[in-house]
Amino acid sequence: MMALETQTCWDSPEFTIDCVLANGSGQLEADGCVLECLEDGCTLTTPDHLRAGDIVKVQLWLEGEEALIDIRLAQVRRVHKHWIGVDVIQLSSEDRMRLKRFLDAAAAMHLEEPARIDHLLIRA
């Protein structure tokens, strides 16, 4: 007898946030959009479809880089008007190092402390 595989929100989040890093000093801030991904594709939606506790995927683009930072899993911390706060749950070690190098370089240019990688504020 074969075991049935069940797909959960952890395997394939319903929402993806596609965004570009806008500020990497003090706090990670990005500008982007929310996509609702269903079986037949993704459609643009608004942040008010998200709730605290929702699991999302985040595609974070860095200025001057062609490859995105793939945050496979993040949890919505809060939604207020057009701002979405998320906590990073799953990020590959390679992407974590790329993001850390990018933030360290930005902080050095502004003589500030680099932002924490675990929290992201997105304007959508």
Q: What is the pLDDT of residues 18-48, one digit of tens each?
A: 999 987 666 789 999 999 988 888 899 999 9
Could you give the CA distance from residue 113 to residue 79 in angstroms, rounded to a whole number?
A: 26
**106 or 9, greater pLDDT:** 106
Look at the chain and report how many structural domains it folds into.
Answer: 1
Report yes or no on 92 lying in a domain: yes
Q: Does residue 9 sit within a domain?
A: no
Domain-located, residue 99? yes
Place of tokens 């995105």: 68
| DSSP secondary structure letter of residue 97 | H
Assess if residue 28 is contained within a domain.
yes
Instruction: Quote the tokens at residue 119.
Output: 């929290």
pTM value is 0.84
Is residue 7 domain-resident? no
Q: Report d(CA 25, CA 101) in Å as an integer.
A: 13
Give the domain extent around 43. 15-123
Whether 38 is in a domain gets the answer yes
